[in-house]
Amino acid sequence: MNWAALDREERAHHELRVLATDAGQPRRSATAAVRISVRDRNDHAPRFPQGALRPQVLEGQPSGTLVTTVFAKDFDSGNNGVVLYSIESEEDIGSFQIDAVSGELRTTRPLSHAERSNYRMMVIAKDQGMPSLQGRAALYIQVIPLPNEKSGFSQHFKHFVIPENFKPAQVLDSLKVPSNHGTLNRKLHFSIAKDDNIHFEIDSLTGDLYLSKELDYETDSHFLLQVIIKDYNDPPQNSTVFLSIDVEDKNDHSPHFQDDLVVIGIEENVPVGTLVYTFNAKDGDGGFLNSKIEYSLEISNTGENPFLIHPLYGTLTTASPLDREITRSVILTVFAEDQAVNLTDRRLDSLAVKVVILDINDNSPSFMSSPLSYVMEDVEVGFFVHHIIAKDPDEGRNGQVTYHILSGNENKAFVLDKITGLLTTAQFLDREVQERYSLTVIALDDGSPALSATQVLTIIVLDVNDETPRFLKQLYETAVLENRDPGEFVVRVEAVDRDAGLNSLLQYEILPGAGYEKFKMNSESGELVTAASLDRETQEVFSIKVLVRDSGTPSLSSTVTVICTVLDENDHSPTFLLPPSEIFIPENQQLSVVYIVRAVDMDAGNNGALRYKIIGGNVGEYFILNNTSGKLLITRSLDREDISNFTLVIECYDLGSPSRSSSAQLYLTVLDENDHSPLFEKTQYQISVTEDLEEGSAILDLSASDGDAGLNGEVMYSLIDDTYGAFAIDSVTGSIITTKALDREIKSQYMFRAVASDCSTHFPKSTTVSVVVHVDDVNDNDPVFLQNPIRVFVPAETAVNETVASVRAEDVDLGSNGAIVFNLMMAETVFQIDVKTGDIILQEPLASKAFSTQLLVTASDQGIAPRTATAVVIVFTEGQEEGISFSHSLYEATVPENSAAGTSLLTVEAYEHKFTGEDIKYSIFSDQEIFSIHPVTGKP
């Protein structure tokens, strides 16, 4: 509770001495030092020491001209004291900009007095606290016009910088008239315009400018002087020169701490990064770097520094965990140094800091005394047993330790003094009742909250010999395998003696009895082993008496009986009851039992318990064998065409350890079923043959396979669909042959199906395949004229190169076999024929109007062995009449195939236009041997 408001800026630390007094008689008291650090609150707004600013700037200066530098102070610390600048105005402020950090106000363009003679704006200084505070200062900027008069001076404007510590009465600058300007006797008068700055004076005669008053950058950082020069010569001339003077800030203020010594208390359990204290040094300089402070620290000793200071904000934080028990306090020196450009000009201040590490109850008591103690069982009540000691490195009540028994003392055998840690007996002890006590002792400090440690204190009660050895069992039953070598472990008998030391040291031995010579005993461990190989068939059970005695004086002893059963050894292998046999299984049979394997084993128990398994030959995992019943099952349908037989290797083994086994082979044959259709090598057959192929020629050999066996796999072939009597197939070989001569001009392609059928007696299967036979052309047809003979009437005045007739012929063969060329059989000068078109062209004028002639024209195909036909072309002029004419220009007849020679087809008839009395004779003009005509009657 505080009775007055705290102000960190007036006093950052308070140190109190607190007295605590109890109400006892006599009263007891204690004191404690309380160190209070006042944390900063953002309760100070930035403040401008200059108040309202009225800088002047000469018109026409380039963009970026410095107008003034503003700065504000904020007495808060950290971000609460970091100031940023900005400007605002109800008018346009686009002509100026301010550096937010340094406070330099500069123009953004050349200014014009005629355009605007003054500007008014507000400078805002805003700190970075939360919430933020701000200060304001009015800024009145006057734009000074350039003079219009001519001057003898080289420039109307001069700018220079003078340091803040420039001494008064020294010449700053001199306004001189150039040496080439007029006479040396020219009379001038220099003066500074009224109301201009009082810090400067000028010699009215020489023009020397003096500093009349000390400068302070923090008050005024920029001056604009108007110097008026009056010329008293004839003619008189006046001129004005503007002097722009920037005051250069000098680092003439050192950073300053409010205190010379700060004592800080920090608890040792704070996490790394905890804020310990915020240092706040002030610097009276106005320049940004001259007043910018950076903090650093040094530790007074060479130990590790557990603290870290922020160079800008001055915040001191923990950099590593603190431990009062290792380091009780740390002496630091904190430095505050400004950041002047020249390292030699930098100033600093230092502050001694003592950081006291405050104790936290962070250490539990630690036991120093032994966790083991011994006591005789016959000691008196109140006997001192053990001194429990625990240490706690914490201070004060945090380090005061008291002792308590948490558990293990349920029968109240001991008493523990909670202050001294002395443990004594509270009753008589009896080792035979309890020979060991495990007391869980807690050591508890007086901190808040209290910390503790526990220790299990073991108290061993020492023995007096008064107990007889006793076996852990009243009867031991065990078993051992027959045929084992001597030394086989049988059983370990164990007795206990509640005494200790030699009184509990036991010795074992075998007492004489039936078969006892076959065993021997380890006198120390109680292990019973065989002295000879045992035979179960000779004696199956042994009863052995074992005695145990302690090493006391006199010795005490007891006996126990061991029943040992001789176990059977697995010395018989399983034997299969049936000799290996062959099993027939139909293919495609579903899951079923196909055989039961049986074997016997003469051993007993697990040695005679049999199991079966397949160890070989189970290709494809088609079979499983029930390991107990011996039933052999198929897992899925068998396919004889995949695997036709199996030879399974069956193993039968007993469950003895180690197991004994026998094996046998089982032969299985898969019986065929007609489950495959014949399969042709192709899905379709296409073949080309020539039409002149002889009857009975083989054109294609079909082949179909059938995966079945026997008759199910034998294949027969046949044809379906109409082959027009042209083809047949060999039912056994599958060879397709021609059964008659082929004629492409009658049928050029045959399509039919071939069938492959197996010879199964039950539900035979078949497959069909399509066969396409292409008949290729052979040059076996003569060209045929469409008209023969041809009569042509030609006018006598027909011009040369005129076509007088056209011969047409056809050949039913294909390609070159059917391509026709025309020729004249005899050389002819009057006419010529076109070999391709058959056009007959007049080559010479006709000799007379009574001209007539006969032309023999041949038509030949282009086959390898060309075939030819001949036609007669009768040419005569229009003045002549035809002597003989047929009754029809075309005769057609039909004849059945295989007609006998001499069969009459038709009769042709011709007549004379003028009777001559001569007989008309008939003949066949073309070369052929199949047909004939009677020369007189015209009958064939």
Quick: pLDDT tens for 169-222. 788 788 765 544 554 556 788 888 765 567 888 888 888 888 888 887 767 777
Question: Other C-beta atoms within 10 Å of 535: how many?
Answer: 12
Of 642, 671, 700, the residue at which a domain comes to its end is 671
Q: Going by C-beta distance under 8 Å and a sequence separation of 6 or more, which residues neighbour residue 28?
A: 21, 22
Query: In 167-212, which residue ranges form alpha helices assigned H by DSSP?
Result: none
Report whether 845 contacts 830 (CB < 8 A). Answer: no
Residues 262 and 243 in one domain: no
Burial of residue 670 (number of CB atoms within 10 Å: 0-12, 13-18, 19+)? buried
Count CA atoms closer than 13 A to 10's CA, side-chain side: 5
In a domain, 851, yes or no: no
Tokens 């069909």 sit on residue: 768
Q: Please give the backbone phi and psi of residue 114, each rounded to the nearest 5 degrees, phi first.
A: -65, -35
**Secondary structure E strands in 268-328:** 275-278, 293-299, 307-309, 315-318
pLDDT of residue 580: 60
What pLDDT shows up at residue 154? 45
The alpha carbon of 352 is separated from its chain's Cα centroid by a whole number of angstroms, namely 57
If one counts every other C-beta atom within 10 angstroms of the C-beta of residue 216, the result is: 16
* Residue type at position 278: T
Residues 35, 84, single domain; the answer is no
CATH number of the domain that 69 lies in? 2.60.40.60
Together in a domain, 53 and 35: no
Q: Do 520 and 436 sit in the same domain of this protein? A: no
Residue span of the structural domain in which 819 resides:
782-846
Cα separation, 596 vs 514, in Å, equals 50
Which tokens is 454 given?
């526990």
On the question of a cis peptide bond just before residue 789, with omega within 30 degrees of 0, the verdict is: yes
> SS3 helix, strand, coil % of the chain, rounded to 5?
5, 45, 55
- The answer to whether the CB of 787 falls within 8 A of the CB of 808 is yes
Give the Cα separation of 756 and 720 in Å (integer). 11
Is residue 888 assigned to a domain? Answer: no
Domain finish residue from 429, 444, 462? 462
* 860: in domain: no
Last residue of a domain, one of 500, 534, 567: 567
- The number of domains in the chain is 9
- Backbone dihedral angles phi then psi of residue 567, each to the nearest 5 degrees: -90, 150
Claim to verify: residue 259 and residue 349 sit in the same structural domain: yes
To which residue do tokens 């027909």 refer?
798
Kindly state the DSSP code that residue 289 receives in the 8-state scheme. Answer: H
In a shared domain, residues 49 and 137: yes
> Can you tell me whether residue 398 is helix, strand or coil?
helix
Q: Confirm if 734 and 717 have CB atoms less than 8 A apart.
A: yes
Q: What is the DSSP string of 852-868?
A: EEEEEEEEEE-SSS--E
Q: Say whether 501 sits in a helix, a strand or coil.
A: helix
Residue found by looking up tokens 């004849």 in the block:
895
- What is the secondary structure of 527-578 as a DSSP string? EEEESS---TTT-SEEEEEEEEEESSSS--EEEEEEEEEEEP------EESS
DSSP one-letter string for 400-457: -EEEEEEES-TT--EEE-TTT-EEEESS---TTT-SEEEEEEEEEE-SSS--EEEEEE
Asked if 268 contacts 324 with a C-beta cutoff of 8 angstroms, the reply is: yes
Domain co-membership, 317 together with 276:
yes
DSSP 930: S
Q: With beta carbons less than 8 A apart as the criterion, state whether 891 and 939 touch.
A: no
3-state secondary structure of 344: helix
CB 325 within 8 A of CB 357: no
In Å, how far are 733, 761, 771, 872, 919 from 715, measured between CA atoms? 9, 13, 18, 62, 73
Residue 445: both structure tokens together: 């400090």
Strands in 134-144's sheet, in edge-to-edge order, are 56-58, 134-144, 118-127, 83-88
Q: From CA 224, how far away is CA 193, in angstroms rounded? A: 11
Is residue 579 domain-shared with residue 664, that is, in the same domain? Answer: yes
Chain centroid, CA 674 distance in Å: 56
In one-letter notation, the amino acid at residue 438 is S
The reply to whether 353 and 261 lie within a common domain is yes
Gap between the Cα atoms of 618 and 194, Å rounded = 127
CA–CA dist 929, 735 (Å, integer): 37
Q: Find all residues with CB under 8 Å of 623, minimum gap 6, and list them.
A: 594, 614, 632, 633, 634, 635, 646, 648
One domain for residues 373 and 449: yes
Which pLDDT does position 287 carry in this prediction? Answer: 61
Helix (H) or strand (E) holding 288: helix 288-291
CA distance 111 to 96: 10
Beta pairing class for 593-596 and 293-299: unpaired
Beta-carbon contacts of 901 under 8 Å, excluding residues fewer than 6 positions away, are none
Phi first, then psi, for residue 374 (nearest 5°) are -125, 145
Asked if 431 contacts 377 with a C-beta cutoff of 8 angstroms, the reply is yes
Whether residue 168 is found in the same domain as residue 213: yes
Mean pLDDT of the chain: 84
Q: Which two tokens stand for residue 63?
A: 């963009």
pTM for the whole structure: 0.36
Separation CA 905–CA 257 (nearest Å): 150
Exposure letters 710-747 (e unless 16+ CB within 10 A, then b)? eebbbbbbebeeebeebbebeeeebbbbbeeebebeee
State the Cα–Cα distance between residues 239 and 795, nearest whole angstrom: 134
* 605 and 663 part of one domain: yes
Phi first, then psi: what are they for 87, rounded to 5°? -125, 150
| pLDDT value of residue 183 | 44
Report how far residue 13's alpha carbon sits from residue 6's, in angstroms, rounded to the nearest whole number.
Answer: 10
Distances in Å between the Cα of 399 and the Cα atoms of 65, 252, 359 are: 71, 54, 10
Q: Give the start-end residues of each E strand in 145-197.
A: 157-163, 171-174, 188-192
CB distance 446 to 365 below 8 Å: no
Cα–Cα distance for residue pair 670/910, rounded to 1 Å = 88
Nearest to 77 by CA among 238, 225, 258, 224: 258
Mean pLDDT of successive 10-residue stretches along the chain, which has 940 residues: 69 75 79 73 84 83 86 81 86 83 87 88 90 90 74 62 81 67 64 73 83 77 79 73 78 80 86 86 75 85 83 88 84 87 84 86 89 89 93 87 93 93 92 89 90 93 84 94 91 90 90 92 94 85 93 88 90 79 82 88 85 91 91 87 87 91 89 83 90 88 85 88 90 91 88 90 88 89 87 86 90 88 87 90 84 88 90 78 69 82 81 69 70 75
Q: What is the pLDDT of residue 162?
A: 84
Q: What is the largest CA-CA distance in the chain?
A: 195
- Token digits of residue 616: 């070989």
Token reading at 701 = 């050999």
Question: Distance between CA atoms of 164 and 70, rounded to whole angstroms?
Answer: 16
CA distance 314 to 294: 8
